[in-house]
């Protein structure tokens, strides 16, 4: 197989790009200056199409249901969905059991107890929201949704302003931890009780296309970047 020495083209979703790609690209350029790297944003279907056409060398995302046999997947990690609420809003809605409820919810927040609280939600076609909807349907819970968008930065701002709670995938947790360093109204992150479904993320390549130098080096940095994405004392 012919080996090309060129710029590696990496694709992922917008949210994942924002959270970890700038740091990985900086490390890549510092450590492997013999190679170039270019980041591309798309949804799972778009990434699959670009890989299939040879417009990407590697991607990381959920797997497309339409992925052909040429697309090889390597498990990266399981993203989990968390409930995010500000300290002030939690105190308002759970005044009779605050602050004791913080430790209780850190063991698993019962979504039924949050049915009166306003929430932000991501777009319904996203797998993470389908996971949430499975739980809500099973528990027969309807949430008070006051905002729907695919922009987690808006969700986070509304949580900080005590306008709503929201949901976050593992990928965003380090960002929330950094926000808490400069925010008096801390953002609390709780695992969701009885939510066992996860959002698996894979490294995707096209086995029918020539290997591009730098691909393995990028994989190494990516795997290191996602090692510590679980919640810890927020």
- Between these two residues, 125 and 112, which has the higher pLDDT value? 112
Residue-wise pLDDT for 50-100, tens only, equals: 999 999 999 999 876 667 889 999 999 999 999 999 999 999 999 999 999
Residues with Cβ within 8 Å of residue 196, at least 6 apart in sequence: none
Residue-wise pLDDT for 199-228, tens only, equals: 999 999 999 998 888 999 999 999 999 886
Supply the pLDDT for residue 153.
87
Domain locations in the chain as residue ranges? 7-78+200-225, 81-191
Task: For residue 60, give the nearest of 89, 99, 98, 19 by alpha carbon.
Answer: 19
CATH class assigned to 7-78+200-225: alpha beta
Residues with Cβ within 8 Å of residue 28, at least 6 apart in sequence: 35, 37, 214, 217, 218, 221
7-78+200-225 and 81-191: identical CATH topology: yes
Supply the pLDDT for residue 234.
58
Supply the pLDDT for residue 3.
47
Domain 81-191: CATH superfamily is Periplasmic binding protein-like II (3.40.190.10)
| C-alpha–C-alpha distance, residues 24 and 233, integer Å | 25
| C-alpha–C-alpha distance, residues 231 and 106, integer Å | 10
Residue-wise pLDDT for 143-181, tens only, equals: 999 999 988 889 999 999 999 999 999 888 888 999 999
Supply the pLDDT for residue 4.
47
Cα dist from 1 to 112, 209, 218, whole Å: 56, 9, 20
| C-alpha–C-alpha distance, residues 18 and 101, integer Å | 32
């Amino acid at each position: 197989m012919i080996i090309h020495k060129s710029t590696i083209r990496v694709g992922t979703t917008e949210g994942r790009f924002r959270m970890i790609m700038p740091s990985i690209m900086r490390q890549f350029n510092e450590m492997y200056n013999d190679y170039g790297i270019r980041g591309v944003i798309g949804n799972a279907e778009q990434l699959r199409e670009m890989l299939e056409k040879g417009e990407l060398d590697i991607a990381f995302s959920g797997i497309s249901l339409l992925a052909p046999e040429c697309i090889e997947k390597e498990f990266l990690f399981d993203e989990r969905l968390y409930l995010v609420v500000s300290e002030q809003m939690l105190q308002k809605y759970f005044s009779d059991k605050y602050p004791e409820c913080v430790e209780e919810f850190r063991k698993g927040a019962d979504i039924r107890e949050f049915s009166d609280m306003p929430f932000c939600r991501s777009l319904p076609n996203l797998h993470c929201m389908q996971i949430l909807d499975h739980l809500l349907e099973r528990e027969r819970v309807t949430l008070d949704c006051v905002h729907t968008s695919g922009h987690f930065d808006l969700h986070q701002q509304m949580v900080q302003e005590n306008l709503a709670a929201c949901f976050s995938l593992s990928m965003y947790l380090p960002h929330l931890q950094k926000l808490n360093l400069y925010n008096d109204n801390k953002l609390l992150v709780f695992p969701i009780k009885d939510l066992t479904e996860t959002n698996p993320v894979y490294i995707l390549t096209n086995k029918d296309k020539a290997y591009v130098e730098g691909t393995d080096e990028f994989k190494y940095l990516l795997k290191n970047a996602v090692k510590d994405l679980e919640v810890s004392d927020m």
